[in-house]
Amino acid sequence: MRWYWIDRFLEFERGRRCVAVKNVTLAEEYLHAHFPGYPVMPNALVIEGVAQAGGLLVADQRGYQGNMILAKVPKAVFHFDPRPGDTLRYECTLESLRGEGAVVQATVRCGDQEQGEVEIFFANAAHGPRARQLFTDLDLVTMMHYLGAYQVGRDADGGPLRPPDHLQDRLSTLWLGTAEP
């Protein structure tokens, strides 16, 4: 199993907002232990999904440089537990962004119901004395590609969202390619 807690981007507006979906399926191993006979997706994994969608929104706006990592969850309110068969919709907005950190707010919807509200605070791990490289720009762009961000995304001017030019060749060699506008 791979640590992907969103399945696809439906919308992606550089530097502003994104909408990602997560399909909950009984094929996922953890549901059989959480709980035996009553499978529900832990809301901690909803937070992880929001952090992945919001984290890519932040990373894209920063040109895939730096290492913004989930540092704090100032707010997480949930109204019910997601169950197999549910499609969760993570609607994320980039509230603040600067070199040292970023804030993303998200509303989680399941059908026509609001499932939760989450606020994620990201800190730049590349800052300060304990600086670390956690992801390469290629890692982040690859995730964006898998999740369809370049198929639905728009850049700041409303044009199609594209990975940085210097990564296009490397992506091609990985047989990933990118969607044509």
Q: Where are the alpha helices (DSSP H) in the chain?
A: 43-61, 137-146, 149-152, 165-173
Cβ 11 to other proteins shortest distance, Å:
24
Burial (0-12, 13-18, 19+ Cβ within 10 Å), 132: exposed
Q: Does 32 bind other proteins (CB under 8 A)?
A: no
Cβ closest to other proteins, residue 76 vs residue 179: 76
CB of 155 to other proteins, least distance (A): 25
Q: Is 36 in the site for other proteins (CB under 8 A)?
A: no
Instruction: Restricting to residues 131-160, name those near other proteins by CB under 8 A.
Output: none
CB of 135 to other proteins, least distance (A): 19
Q: CB within 8 A of 78, min separation 6: which ones?
A: 43, 46, 108, 115, 116
How many Å apart are CA 91 and CA 57, to the nearest integer?
11
Query: Is 74 one of the binding residues for other proteins (CB under 8 A)?
Result: yes
Site of interaction with other proteins (CB under 8 A):
71-72, 74-75, 95-96, 98-101, 103, 121, 123, 129
